[in-house]
Structure 1
Amino acid sequence: MALSDRLELVNPSEIRKLFDLAQGVEGLISLGIGEPDFDTPEHIKEYAKEALDRGMTHYGPNAGLPMLREAIARKLKEQNGVEADPKSEIMVTVGANQAFIMGLAAFLREGEEVLIPSPMFVSYAPAVILAGGKPVEVPTYEENEFRLSVDDLKKHVSEKTRALIINSPNNPTGAVLTRKDVEEIADFAVEHDLMVFSDEVYEHFVYDGARNYSIASLDGMFERTITVNGFSKTFAMTGWRLGFVAAPAWIIEKMTRFQMYNATCPVTFAQYAAAKALDDPRSWKAVEEMRREYDRRRNLVWKRLNEMGLPTVKPKGAFYIFSRVRDTGLTDKEFSELMLKEAKVAVVPGSAFGKAGEGYIRISYATAYEKLEEAMDRMEKVLREKKLV
């Protein structure tokens, strides 16, 4: 099947549709977009200016600047327990999102299946389709805090299954896999000879004693794992479009070839700034300050949603909360449209994240505390007036 045919199978993001609908709504409070409301720390911006002053405005290597790959290797070893050769097992991408289609294209054959825990990040299934594969949704459940279990995976694996995507901390649910979860998933992957994509872009935003466990750090797992991460969420650098991948050399070689004929290379001066940021203690101080503020917001939103009659699991990671709305008698899309029109609050219907998300909404608490308070007040007022709770 030609790529043009596959593009016909991929629908525009439901989140983008919501944003289009929200355009022009005066006084809108948006809890939809998954983007830090913090600005990039000043010292990182200064590093970018320094790079520009040094004339770093030319093409760089397809796989990324050596200085950045080396800094990433140090970070992976110190923070994740993952040993990766910066010359052959790490590459820099134009945002983390790009890594999925490039990584899948490195090994996936026509019609092979990829298991994806659902609710899921909106880019996963389209990436599988564009790479020629078939996405297979594996439902996760509120009763298990939306954490993926091997029992769920066993129900959906087949002879055609080639890979598995895990995302912890999770977008959209905020679920965080425990070490036991990760170990069991690793055993499952080995048993069925699967490649594993581990999306860890929210790794530093964890709460209540939870932590991120990198599956590539487990014995024998690096050779079958593509670890995807980036700078957008960690350092509030979404517009800088910088991600990175750690994977076996044969995967990186093929992904680099893809990038060679796609984006050529990531932005050179942005890479310099990211490399310097990784080794600067001020960066990690800023991350911890963001994490603490997200935690404060999380507690507010979770408490208010439950108080207004919307049952909500308390998330242990990321900056999203996934609330059950089907008890109101409305579908998740109807609920979202009601909140947009009556409360002037934008939330995302859970069905945008797969079938398992139907009947839920995703709220991003990456916005100011005062705005979140007002948004909760508005939502509760509409629910009471409509007698939906």
Structure 2
Amino acid sequence: MNRNHSFAPAERVRALELPERADIAPPSVRQADLDILGQLPPDFLDTTHFDTVAFPPPDYARQMFDAAAADGSLAYTGYRGHPGVLAEVARNVSAFLGVEVDPRRNIALLPGTQAALFATLSARVNRGDRIVLMDPDYLFTARILRFLEAEIAYVPLVLTDGRYEPDIDEMARHFADPATKLAVFSHPNNPTGAVYRPEIIARIAELAAEHDVGLVADELYARLVYDGTPFPHIAAEPGAWERTCTLLGPSKTESLSGYRLGVVVGPAPIMEAIENTLSITSLRAPAYAQHVLRGWLGPDRDWLERRLAAFAELRRTTLSILREVPWLKVHPQHGTAYLWADLRSTGLSDIEIGRTLARDAATLISPGYQFGPNSSGHIRICYARDPATWPDDLRRMIDVLERARTRR
């Protein structure tokens, strides 16, 4: 009898495809993504990430990497990272978060914030745990949790005076459930760009303490905030430090994705578990690349101001163009380089929008189904693009969708 055991993927791998979203991304998220990708020509515009050609990394990155790579003794480090780099990063992170970070106990370097998210969740989540997520939120968090065989409870983001914020009453209800172990959220929110008001962050911390719920805050975009908007770090809230892991990294704002660097900060017992997880996956962050972090989160402040000014101008340009489109709604938030556009009035499904833009505009976007079960009808656009070509690219996308909407 042929059982096909050699070719059958593990059930936990199948769960990565989020088949429960088949009504909006048939037959699964992965297949929906592949269908859209199959429509793209070889030379296409990718709006799913930052343009690292138009916005290259700061000069110090290559200089520090080259200096480290010239010294073969730096090829291996402990699992958490090189002690000298950890000391410098811990000092800068302490000032940034407003908490005291011990380089030996409270911090680890990982190969990218994605790996940091996986290691952190793997270290904290058991099969059957109930985990609270926002809807919408970072597309891979739900997939990792399904891989870990956790149960997911969603808290919707609602518009309040033009700002996306979690439904605190719904969050309180989930936190009160004894099965709830952890809440995971990106801040600023990916995909909307929302920066939550200080009182919202304070309330989440209060609820977590009241119901003994752990917290994971993905603050990858915490430096990419506009208009002087205050950014509250939940780890600095009273009673939050001992239950919170904060994820940071230079991959987006600083265009350092290719260096594969992520940072996790948290209480010592959790960091020990994360280190244990790290030891059976990647072992360590890329050893030479770790030294690039010596120039990050403080020493590069002047460079960051110039980068933020360039992104702010692109944000204004993008909003100016999108606001001319009567069937599209957009509520600009205060962080990231993303806009979350509402296209529900077109009557087009997420798959239709993605395929149409791929085929007729040679453009890849991030469709709403990736970010949550109730986020269909939206797209995420990254406007960190070449300023010389981005306005024409954006208008081409709008023209293609206008024709599709009219045909519909």
TM-score, with structure 1 as normaliser: 0.92
SS of equivalent to 1:146: strand
1:153 aligns with 2:183: no
Alignment match, 2:363 = 345
Match runs of 1:6-155 below 5 Å:
6-11=12-17, 17=34, 20-21=37-38, 23-26=40-43, 28-34=44-50, 36-37=52-53, 38-143=55-160, 145-155=163-173
* 2:234 is equivalent to residue 215 of structure 1: yes
Q: Structure 2 counterpart of 1:32, which letter?
A: T
The question of 1:317 aligning with 2:335 is answered: yes
Q: 1:166 to 1:111 in 2, by over 3 A?
A: same
Q: State the match for 2:188 in structure 1.
A: 169
Aligned residues of 2:131 and 2:182 also touching (Cα < 8 A): yes
Residues 1:249 and 1:386: Cα distance change in structure 2 (over 3 Å)? closer
C-alpha contact 1:63 1:265 (8 A) present in aligned 2:
yes
Report the AA paired with residue 206 of structure 1: V
d(CA) in 2 for partners of 1:36, 1:86: 30
CA contact (8 A) 2:348 2:405 kept: no
The 8 Å contact of residues 36 and 351 in structure 2, kept in 1 or not, is answered as no
The RMSD of aligned alpha carbons is 2.2
Q: How many correspondences in the alignment?
A: 384
Matched residue type, 1:31: T
8 A Cα contact 2:80 2:275, kept in partner: yes
Cα–Cα, structure 1 residues 284 and 258, in superposed 2: closer, same or farther, change >3 Å? same
Cα 1:328–1:63, aligned 2, differ >3 Å: closer, same or farther? same
Residues in 1 aligned to 2:75 and 2:140: alpha-carbon distance in whole angstroms: 30
Question: What's the CA shift for 1:57?
Answer: 4.7
- Quickly say closer, same or farther: Cα 1:142–1:325, change in 2 above 3 A: farther
- Which residue does the alignment assign to 1:307? 324
- SS for the counterpart of 1:369 is coil
Runs of 5+ in structure 1 lacking a partner?
A: none
In the TM superposition, 1:216-231 aligns within 5 A as 216-231=235-250
Q: Indicate the residue corresponding to 2:263 in structure 1.
A: 244
Q: Quick one: distance in 2 between partners of 1:339 and 1:208?
A: 32
Matched, 1:203 2:209: no
Contact preservation (8 Å) 1:18, 1:348 = no
Q: Structure 1: how far apart are the matches of 2:208 and 2:52?
A: 33
Contact 2:106-2:268 at 8 Å conserved across structures = yes
- Among 344, 350, 354, which residue is 2:372 paired with? 354
**Structure 1, 355-364 or 122-131: larger mean CA deviation:** 122-131
- In the superposition, relative to structure 1, how do residues 386 and 253 fare at CA in structure 2: closer, same or farther (>3 Å)? closer
Shift of 1:152: 3.1
Paired residue type of 1:268: A
Distance 1:382 1:126, change over 3 A: closer
Does 1:178 find its partner at 2:194?
A: no
**Matched residue, 2:4:** none
- CA–CA distance in structure 1, aligned partners of residues 285 and 164 of structure 2: 34
Query: Whole-Å Cα distance in 2 between the matches of residues 56 and 349 of structure 1?
Result: 45
Aligned to 1:288: 305
The one of 353, 356, 361 equivalent to 1:335 is 353
Q: 1:13 to 1:67 in 2, by over 3 A?
A: farther
CA distance in 1, matches of 2:309, 2:85: 27
Distance 2:130 2:405 in 1: 44
Q: Report the secondary structure of 1:268's partner residue.
A: coil
The amino acid that maps onto 1:211 is P
Match of 2:11 among 5, 17, 35: 5
Instruction: Please name the residue that 1:260 is paired with.
Output: 279
SS of 2:124's equivalent?
coil
Shift of 1:161: 0.5
Amino acid across the alignment from 1:177: Y
Q: Distance in 2 between matches of 1:162 and 1:377?
A: 45
- Equivalent-residue separation in structure 2 for 1:67 and 1:174 (angstroms): 34
Partner of 2:213: 194
Secondary structure in 2 matching 1:318: coil
2:238 counterpart letter in structure 1: D
Measure the CA separation in 2 of the matches of 1:18 and 1:53: 44
Q: Distance in 2 between the 1:18 and 1:367 partners?
A: 25
- DSSP-derived class of the 1:355 partner: coil
The one-letter code of the counterpart of 2:78 is P
Contact 2:132 2:155 in 1 (8 A): yes
Offset of residue 207 of structure 1: 1.0
Distance 1:15 1:234 in 2: 29
CA distance 1:14–1:362, change in 2 (3 Å): farther
What is the TM-score when the length of structure 2 is the normalising length?
0.88
Name structure 2 gaps, 5 residues minimum.
1-8, 18-28
Aligned to 1:164, the other structure's residue is in SS state strand
Q: Structure 1 stretch 51-60 or stretch 223-232: which is displaced more?
A: 51-60
| Aligned mates of 2:97, 2:155 — CA distance in 1 | 26
* Range moving further from structure 2, 57-66 or 193-202: 57-66
Post-superposition Cα deviations, 1:248-296, rounded to whole Å, max 9, x if no partner, equal 1011111111111211111111111222x13773x22222222111111
